[in-house]
Amino acid sequence: MEAKQSGSRMSRRCAMMLLALLLCVLPYVPMGAEAKNLAAVTVAIHNELSTLDPHKIRGAFDQAFFSNVFEGLYGRDASGKPVPLLATGHTVAPDGLTYDFTLRQNVFFHNGDPMTAQDVRFSWVRAGDPAIGNPRAAVLVGNIADVEIVNPHRVRVKLKQKDAALIANLSEYWYIVPKEHIERVGNKGFEAAPVGTGPFKFAKYTIRESFDLEGFTKYWGARPAVDKLRLRFITDDQTRMASLQTGESDIVTNVPAFMVPVLQRTGKIDIIQSPSLRNVFLAFNTHPRSRLADRRVREAINLAIDRKALAKSVMQGLVEVQTVVCYRAVLGCDIPRDAYPFDPANARRLLREANFDTAKPLRIVAPIGLVPQAKETLEGVLHFLHQVGFKTEVTRLELGAFRGAYGGKDKEKSDTEIFLTTFSDYHPDPSGRLLRMLKTNEGFSWFNDPALDAMLDQMNEFTDPRLREDHLRKIFLKTYDDHALGPLWTINNIYGVRKHIGWKPEPYVDWPVFQTLGPAN
């Protein structure tokens, strides 16, 4: 009898040990929950795409597609710092001109091709090919002299000049594409059905309507817990918010500030705010034939606007008024200046001193849909300009036409004097933004100043991070003192998300990245 009791105790003990072992091995699933993906998620986004080719990106919001489908050698962590993606690490030569990258193995493109050094070199050649017409080539790939293939999993990048922002810029300015596939289908075939290495693969694109993605089951990293993802283009704020309220959309981007309490009161929608590097501002045409080449006129415009009142009335205070066109997290943005004061009397005095003809209207171009609450922001700016004597002539353009005008090549011949626009950094290093926004005749720059151009040419040549940050600070100071731009504010990304969805947006970007998407806990 005693022996039987001992055997029972031993059996129970073995059973408990076996249960403990199974608990250690098996994945944890909360009580009442199922470890399964969302079948489909629909997202309503506030802008359309300009291209499906990662080497032809024109606007930051194109990244709503590319950041989910493509990858670079490096990306960013939650704090915005560079981390390896398709590379596992790198070394830099003492002269700062040669970088060796070790590539991640067992990475596959969406068509099944393995990613190798051949693809990395091919992607550099293609991104810098004038026939492709990469608007962002000058930021990174244009400064690369050569990409040598050391072996299938290692490349050596040789620069023409030092580039302190190289690693930070690898995330969005040099996407890796499949060499053999593109050589087989051609550039047009690739743009019609793009193939990357990201957590989602391309499924379908309907012009002016939507694009569809599918979770990539062979993705090398953490996979999103959603099978199918549709992103719909709904530029009208009211229509987009209505699609969330009715359940037609599961997530919406760019929630207008006044809609935040409305959506929260439904009890079915969460409001998620994520810090961005996106600024809303006025871009001034300062080319010689423009009336805004006179610094006094630009200063008058900046002094005419009551930014704090405008931010409160239009954006419900859910923005941060800026001193210059950058966010305080951006390197060098912390200049010892305050935001331009509201001083209409001085604005009128400056216009008199400049002999500005107020009878001739300022020609202003503004977008439809790109800037959060663009219509209300524009009306507020016009109100303040009219108060100091300006007359205005306004043209509002759909996104494609606006990008064409704002990024136009014949800037010196343009009659447009001001653009109401927005710009986003891809990371806290401002070199890409500064070049495209302020260097003469670059991308979206309407400013014309050889002294500033020289400073911009020097900003990536520093090896000492402290000296470089000081130089960047001097650049931002100069833009402030010269009234190179008319800063308004930095916005947070505001998303509306139905409560059955679990998602943590990536901070410090201006587009939705869906790798963390899945069921709510």
- pLDDT single digits (tens) 481-498: 999 999 999 988 999 999
Residue pair 82/168 in contact by the 8 Å Cβ criterion: yes
Same structural domain, 230 and 295: no
Q: Per the domain annotation, does 13 fall within a domain?
A: no
- pLDDT single digits (tens) 398-410: 988 998 999 988 8
Place 20 in a pLDDT band, splitting at 50, 70 and 90. very low
Based on its alpha-carbon atoms, the radius of gyration of the chain, rounded to whole angstroms, reads 26
Residue pair 55/127 in contact by the 8 Å Cβ criterion: yes
Percent residues over pLDDT 70 in the chain: 93
Q: Per the domain annotation, does 22 fall within a domain?
A: no
d(C-alpha 435, C-alpha 437), whole Å: 6
Same structural domain, 90 and 218: no
- pLDDT single digits (tens) 63-84: 999 999 999 999 988 777 889 9
Per-residue pLDDT at 155 exceeds 70:
yes
Please tell me whether residue 488 adopts helix, strand or coil conformation: strand
Predicted TM-score (pTM) of the model is 0.75
Rounded mean pLDDT, 150-177: 94
- Identify the H or E element spanning 127: helix 117-127
Same structural domain, 223 and 331: no
For 319, the token pair is 């923005």
Same structural domain, 281 and 385: yes
Q: Of 185, 217, 239, which residue constitutes the final position of a domain?
A: 185
Q: Of 125, 156, 185, which residue constitutes the final position of a domain?
A: 185
Same structural domain, 505 and 482: no
Strands 210-215 and 200-206: antiparallel
Same structural domain, 128 and 213: no
Q: Per the domain annotation, does 24 fall within a domain?
A: no
- pLDDT single digits (tens) 25-52: 433 333 344 458 999 999 999 889 999 9
Residue pair 60/426 in contact by the 8 Å Cβ criterion: yes
d(C-alpha 447, C-alpha 411), whole Å: 10
- pLDDT single digits (tens) 282-321: 999 999 999 999 999 999 999 999 999 999 999 988 899 9
CATH of the domain at 211: 3.40.190.10
Question: Residue 87 phi/psi, 5° resolution?
Answer: -105, 160
d(C-alpha 376, C-alpha 83), whole Å: 39
- Tally of structural domains, the chain: 3
d(C-alpha 306, C-alpha 326), whole Å: 19
Same structural domain, 315 and 447: yes
Q: Per the domain annotation, does 9 fall within a domain?
A: no
> With b meaning 16 or more CB within 10 Å and e meaning fewer, what string describes 358-372?
eeeebbbbbbebbbb
- pLDDT single digits (tens) 251-283: 999 998 889 999 999 999 999 998 888 899 999
Query: What sign has the CA pseudo-torsion 323, 324, 330, 335?
Result: negative
Q: Per the domain annotation, does 41 fall within a domain?
A: no
d(C-alpha 310, C-alpha 304), whole Å: 12
Q: Please give the pLDDT value at position 400.
A: 85
Q: In a 10 Å sphere around its CB, with 0-12 CB exposed, 13-18 middle and 19+ buried, how is residue 332 labelled?
A: buried
Residue whose tokens read 């830099």: 92
Same structural domain, 509 and 455: no
CA 84 vs CA 76, 81, 231, 500: distances in Å:
8, 10, 27, 32
Q: Per the domain annotation, does 4 fall within a domain?
A: no
Q: Please give the pLDDT value at position 35.
A: 53
Q: Per the domain annotation, does 153 fall within a domain?
A: yes
Which is more confidently placed, 24 or 248? Answer: 248
Neighbouring-strand partners of residue 87: 103
Per-residue pLDDT at 23 exceeds 50:
no
- HEC secondary structure over 252-303: ECCCCHHHHHHHHCCCCEEEEEEEEEEEEEEEECCCCCCHHHCHHHHHHHHH
d(C-alpha 244, C-alpha 263), whole Å: 9
Place 12 in a pLDDT band, splitting at 50, 70 and 90. very low
User: If you average pLDDT over every residue of the chain, what do you get?
Assistant: 90
Same structural domain, 348 and 283: yes
Extended strands (E) in 131-207: 144-151, 154-159, 200-206
For 147, the token pair is 């990409």
d(C-alpha 33, C-alpha 25), whole Å: 18
Q: 189-198, 236-245, 296-305, 426-435: which has the minimum mean pLDDT? A: 426-435
- Containing structural domain, residue 213: 200-274+493-519
Question: Residue 248 phi/psi, 5° resolution?
Answer: -65, -35
Q: Please give the pLDDT value at position 29.
A: 39
- Give the CA dihedral 332, 337, 342, 348, nearest 10 degrees: -100
> With b meaning 16 or more CB within 10 Å and e meaning fewer, what string describes 15-52?
eeeeeeeeeeeeeeeeeeeeeebbeebbbbbbbbbbbb
Same structural domain, 471 and 332: yes
For 445, the token pair is 């720059």
Same structural domain, 439 and 363: yes
First vs last C-alpha separation in the chain: 51
Q: Of 157, 185, 213, which residue constitutes the final position of a domain?
A: 185
Q: Per the domain annotation, does 42 fall within a domain?
A: no
> With b meaning 16 or more CB within 10 Å and e meaning fewer, what string describes 86-113?
bbeebeeeeebebbbbbbbeebebbeeb
Residue pair 252/512 in contact by the 8 Å Cβ criterion: no
- pLDDT single digits (tens) 103-128: 999 999 999 999 999 999 999 999 99
Q: Please give the pLDDT value at position 310.
A: 96
Which is more confidently placed, 316 or 446? Answer: 446
Residue pair 361/395 in contact by the 8 Å Cβ criterion: no
CATH of the domain at 422: 3.10.105.10
Same structural domain, 377 and 488: yes
Q: 15-19, 321-325, 404-408: which has the minimum mean pLDDT? A: 15-19
